[in-house]
């Protein structure tokens, strides 16, 4: 009996060791040791005090951008290995624009925005490489990746505001709405009186179209509907007078009518604050309606980016095409909604070829090679796919046609 158990144990161990995802105790120990060393080093940098500004002041590549992500690598150093949540992401958020970031769950949308705010889970989450250049209201450009935590607190509050999917997680359930709004003003405008803060908070509730703002001011978060809570979150964000609003799935938890109202509100707000919005969503419909530029992410990388017209009229990457096919359309007559087969690769163990290859219906010989380079299709349109070279002539023709139609439309208008 003992022998049989021993044999079974050995068989199981052998099977585990043969498995690609098996990590032995020794490996976990070694990884944890190495990761602790890296984290310690990075945290030492993050926690430095009285650092001279010159260490993190930089220059924007283009002064018309609010943010420039430049080869951003944002990793989580876990005991199971390094989670490459964001692995070499570059894109710009131009002033007074809405940039939509889209991609399926786990592709690194939220981590990209958290890296910008320097709010990744500490201490495992770190910016491992690359720059995030931020064009501040004071005219200076900051390389956020190098800004120590102490100084980041000053930049973050005055410049950026974040709106999350579920407002209940950001609102404190034990304080009234008014108290939470006033608190923001006390932080941003030291010396403001209680009465002034109250009046400002109520005015902001009016701005975000909340009926009976005086009454809402005295209520607790649980006494409000989901849509009202999201409006309160937007009011809170606006009280900081931000340059940039990061909205991470701001309407996912809301029904379609309220969703449309919140999106309208965000659009108006962008004009009011004369700032930019980074809109994160997995919903391409929302992006089509709202964004000027679109960034499509897949497994921590950008696989395609361009103007909203380029991404919707002329998508090149099979993943972007697949995402668009999976939007429900009444006119298509299809009974079953398209879904992209397969799953995203494990971010700890990414392949050395195109991350989408195993799910791609268009893969061909070249796709067995290294991860494809990002290729420029137009001044604003880029894609990382071997198909681009094959399709270049076809794409150019298509683009010409799109341009011609747009000009025709302009002349008509």
Ligand X SMILES: Nc1ncnc2c1ncn2[C@@H]1O[C@H](COP(=O)(O)OP(=O)(O)OP(=O)(O)O)[C@@H](O)[C@H]1O
- Give the shortest CB-317-to-ligand SF4 separation in angstroms: 6
Q: Which residue of 78, 90, 261, 324 would you call a contact of ligand X, by CB under 6 A?
A: 78
- Among ligand SF4, Mg ion, ligand X, none, what does residue 132 contact (CB within 5–8 Å per kind)? none
What are the backbone angles phi and psi of residue 314, rounded to the nearest 5°? -140, 55
- Give the shortest CB-287-to-ligand SF4 separation in angstroms: 20
Label residues 348-385 b or e (16+ Cβ within 10 Å = b).
eebeeebbbbebbebbeeebeeebbebbebeeebbbbb
Residue 112 in contact with Mg ion, rule: CB under 5 A: no
Instruction: Please name the residues in contact with 176: beta carbons below 8 A apart, sequence gap of 6 or more.
Output: 217, 218, 219, 220
- Among Mg ion, ligand SF4, ligand X, none, what does residue 162 contact (CB within 5–8 Å per kind)? none
CB atoms within 10 A of CB 312: 16
Residue 110 in contact with ligand X, rule: CB under 6 A: yes
Q: Which residue of 110, 112, 113, 251 would you call a contact of Mg ion, by CB under 5 A?
A: 110
Residue 83 in contact with ligand X, rule: CB under 6 A: yes
Rule CB under 6 A: which residues touch ligand SF4? 317-318, 354, 356-357, 360, 362-363, 367, 372, 385-387
Q: What is the DSSP letter of 379?
A: S
Look at residues 60, 82, 53, 49 and name the one whose alpha carbon lies nearest to residue 131: 60
Q: Which residue of 67, 93, 98, 111 would you call a contact of ligand X, by CB under 6 A?
A: 111
Residue number with CB closer to Mg ion (164 or 217): 164
DSSP-derived 3-state class of residue 102: strand
Residue 125 in contact with ligand X, rule: CB under 6 A: yes
Q: Which residue of 124, 170, 261, 380 would you call a contact of ligand X, by CB under 6 A?
A: 124
Which listed range, 101-109, 153-161, 258-266, 284-292, lies at the site for ligand X (CB under 6 A)? Answer: 101-109
Residue 169 in contact with ligand X, rule: CB under 6 A: no
Residue number with CB closer to ligand SF4 (76 or 386): 386
- Give the shortest CB-274-to-ligand X separation in angstroms: 28
Residue 298 in contact with ligand X, rule: CB under 6 A: no
Which listed range, 61-69, 79-87, 109-117, 200-208, lies at the site for Mg ion (CB under 5 A)? Answer: 109-117
Q: In which order are the strands placed within the sheet that holds 125-135? A: 57-58, 141-143, 125-135, 65-78, 81-94
Residue number with CB closer to ligand X (109 or 359): 109
Chain positions 338 to 377 lying near ligand X, rule: CB under 6 A, are 347
Instruction: Please name the residues in contact with 308: beta carbons below 8 A apart, sequence gap of 6 or more.
Output: 100, 287, 288, 291, 292, 293, 294
- Give start and end residues of each alpha helix (H) in 67-191: 109-117, 149-159, 177-188
Instruction: Please name the residues in contact with 157: beta carbons below 8 A apart, sequence gap of 6 or more.
Output: 187, 188, 240
Spatial distance between the Cα atoms of 325 and 329, rounded to a whole number of angstroms: 9
- Give the shortest CB-258-to-ligand X separation in angstroms: 20
Given the structure tokens 């935590």, which residue do they identify?
149
Residue 294 in contact with ligand X, rule: CB under 6 A: no
Q: In which order are the strands placed within the sheet that holds 160-163? A: 160-163, 244-248, 276-281, 98-102, 293-298, 301-307, 382-383, 375-376
Residue 88 in contact with ligand X, rule: CB under 6 A: no
Residue 145 in contact with ligand X, rule: CB under 6 A: no
Q: Which spans of this chain sit near Mg ion (rule: CB under 5 A)?
A: 110
Q: Which spans of this chain sit near ligand X (rule: CB under 6 A)?
A: 76, 78, 83, 85, 103, 105-111, 121, 124-125, 282, 347
């Amino acid at each position: 009996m003992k022998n049989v158990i021993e044999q079974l144990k050995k068989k199981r161990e052998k099977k585990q060791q043969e498995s690609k995802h098996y990590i032995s105790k020794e490996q976990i120990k070694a990884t944890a040791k190495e990761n602790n060393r890296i984290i310690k080093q990075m945290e030492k940098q993050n926690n430095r005090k009285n650092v001279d500004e010159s260490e993190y002041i930089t220059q924007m590549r283009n002064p018309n951008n609010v943010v420039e992500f430049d080869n951003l690598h944002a990793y989580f150093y876990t005991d199971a290995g390094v989670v490459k949540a964001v692995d070499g992401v570059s894109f710009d958020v131009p002033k007074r624009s809405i940039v939509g970031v889209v991609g399926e769950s786990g592709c690194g949308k939220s981590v990209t925005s958290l890296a910008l705010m320097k709010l990744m889970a500490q201490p495992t989450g770190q910016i491992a490489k690359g720059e995030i250049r931020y064009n501040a209201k004071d005219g200076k450009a900051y390389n956020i990746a190098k800004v120590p935590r102490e100084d980041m607190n000053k930049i973050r509050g005055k410049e950026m505001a974040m709106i999350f999917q579920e407002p209940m997680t950001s609102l404190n359930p034990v304080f009234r709405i008014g108290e939470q709004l006033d608190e923001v003003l006390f932080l941003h405008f030291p010396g403001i009186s209680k009465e002034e803060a109250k009046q400002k908070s109520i005015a902001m509730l009016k701005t975000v179209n909340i009926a009976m703002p005086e009454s809402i001011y005295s209520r607790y978060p649980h006494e409000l509907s989901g849509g009202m809570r999201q409006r309160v979150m937007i009011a809170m964000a606006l009280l900081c007078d931000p340059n940039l609003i990061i909205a991470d799935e701001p309407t996912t938890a809301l029904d379609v009518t309220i969703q449309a109202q919140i999106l309208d509100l965000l659009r108006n707000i962008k004009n009011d604050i004369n700032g930019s919005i980074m809109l994160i969503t997995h919903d391409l419909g929302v992006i089509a309606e709202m964004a000027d530029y679109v960034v499509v992410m897949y497994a921590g990388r950008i696989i395609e980016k361009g103007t909203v017209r380029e991404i919707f009229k002329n998508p090149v990457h099979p993943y972007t095409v697949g995402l668009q096919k999976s939007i429900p359309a009444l006119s298509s007559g299809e009974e079953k909604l398209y879904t992209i087969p397969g799953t995203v690769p494990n971010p700890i163990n990414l392949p050395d070829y195109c991350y989408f290859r195993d799910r791609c219906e268009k893969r061909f010989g070249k796709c067995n090679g290294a991860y494809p380079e990002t290729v420029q299709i137009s001044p604003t349109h880029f894609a990382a796919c071997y198909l681009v070279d094959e399709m270049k002539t076809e794409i150019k023709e298509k683009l010409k046609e799109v341009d011609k139609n747009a000009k025709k439309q302009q002349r008509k208008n």
